[in-house]
Amino acid sequence: MTVITRFAPSPTGRLHVGNIRTALHNWMLARKNGGRFLLRIDDTDAERSKEEYVAAIRTHLAWLGLDPDGEERQSARLDRYEAAFERLRAADRVYRCYETAQELDLKRKILLGRGLPPVYDRAALTLSEADHAAKAAEGIAPHWRFKLDHDEPIAWDDGIRGPQKFDPAQLSDPVVRRADGSWLYMLPSAVDDLDMGVTDVLRGEDHVSNTAVQVQMFSALADGGQMPRFAHEALLVGSEGKLSKRLGSLGCDAFRERGIEPEALVALLARIGTSLPVEPIADRHALIETFDLATFGRAPARFDEAELERINTAIVHQLDYGAVADRLPQGMDATGWHAIRPNLATVGDAAELWRVVTGPIEQPDFSAEDRAYLAGAARALEWGEDPWHALTGALKEATGRKGRALFLPLRQALTGMDHGPDMAQLLPLIGEAEARARLERAAKGH
């Protein structure tokens, strides 16, 4: 059986880091098993869904390298939900209700006050056809609930949480259709998963109770179709160990603005919350090969922005010139990239370091002794295969200087910096004429 997973965002906002993690794990699960990864746009909420968010979802998945094998939109499948609803209605698995949000809230508070679970009391099931006719005459349209079978325990073997069992009598019959005819999440999602042949539903543990309800919904709708396997992963928390509002605002736009590479984000999100070490692995195939639901833990997965930045720096140090060429300053070639790469935290930092090569640079004030030393360096500079080591070797022999006293004035005069890229790689990029001019300028002082 071909493994088919899906990522099903609602286009009512931009993807945040929790969404990204869900998409990534579903993509990895499919790729690990040679299967298919589908994108489903859950846009049944016409009022809140926006095309700009649909476009952003596609753009961000492309940036992350999570290429879907197909895309569906719920707004184009309304006839399928209508047909499924009619089947449930004919089977007496949905029923009409009229309680307002305020009435339902009051019922919940009363039950909680009695120490009872806030489960819907099914009062609407006692209404007669005359009661329904009276509501219709008043212009009151019903909302519809799916009727759970209280005689059938709900159970499944969760891919992360292990055996799960629910008493349906302890669950509220879920509302599946609003009074205005629009759909809530439950029914369209189950219909889509069956129609699209989804074999594995991997999502956050906040959906466990939804799954309990949908297990019965799948049974009622399956008609020979295969119910998916379910796995629920622990939710992300901030570095302080708590659910954080900031996590909801961290999305691809924010990461890109900070110079985070998609490979770094993938490397971190692929493994946090698992027993595998989080490492700066840029090779997607290596991450996919080690992806295994058995390594996922039950404890919250801690997302640490400082850890992401450390991984990002390590990933940047691995990037080949071809992967970054279009983002580098004009004139920087592969030699230049490899010279400055070990000193970068982000690719965007390359422009600042490249100015060391192109100039102008700002030199510090040197002591009279160092100015004399730099004048001698300008005279001793000879160009060959390795001008830096030739120069420092000659100066060491001529002056007796060594260590910091030998190297630091030269670096400061040639780059305007106290530390930075390897001078042996940098000096040939600066060039003989410019290097000598900088040494001579430093020797003269301001």
Residue spans per domain, the chain? 4-71+186-237, 82-177, 245-316, 321-357, 359-444
Q: Say if residue 222's pLDDT is above 90.
A: no
Token duo for residue 281: 């692995």
CATH class in words for 359-444: mainly alpha
Q: Which residues contact 194 (CB under 8 A, 6 or more apart)?
A: 218, 221, 222, 225, 226
CB under 8 Å to 253, separation ≥6 — which residues? 14
Q: What is the mean pLDDT of the chain?
A: 94
CATH architecture of the domain 4-71+186-237 equals 3-Layer(aba) Sandwich (3.40)
Task: Give the pLDDT band of residue 32 (cuts 50, 70, 90).
Answer: very high
**How much is the pLDDT for 226?**
82
CATH number of 82-177: 3.90.800.10
For the cut 80, the answer to whether the pLDDT of residue 241 exceeds it is no
Whether the CB-CB separation of 311 and 325 falls below 8 Å is answered with no
Q: What is the pTM of this model?
A: 0.90
Asked whether the domain spanning 245-316 has the same topology as the one spanning 82-177, the reply is no
Average pLDDT over residues 111-118: 93
CATH topology of domain 245-316: Glutamyl-tRNA Synthetase; domain 2 (1.10.1160)
Residues present in the chain in total: 446
- Under DSSP, is residue 71 helix (H, G, I), strand (E, B) or coil? strand
pLDDT in tens, 74-98: 999 999 999 999 999 999 999 999 9
- Give residues with Cβ within 8 angstroms of 286, minimum separation 6: none
The answer to whether the annotation marks 245 as part of a ligand binding site is yes
pLDDT tens digits along 296-337: 999 999 999 999 999 999 999 999 999 999 999 999 999 999
* pLDDT (0 to 100) of residue 83: 97
- Residue 243: its pLDDT value, please? 63
Question: What is the reported pLDDT for 244?
Answer: 67
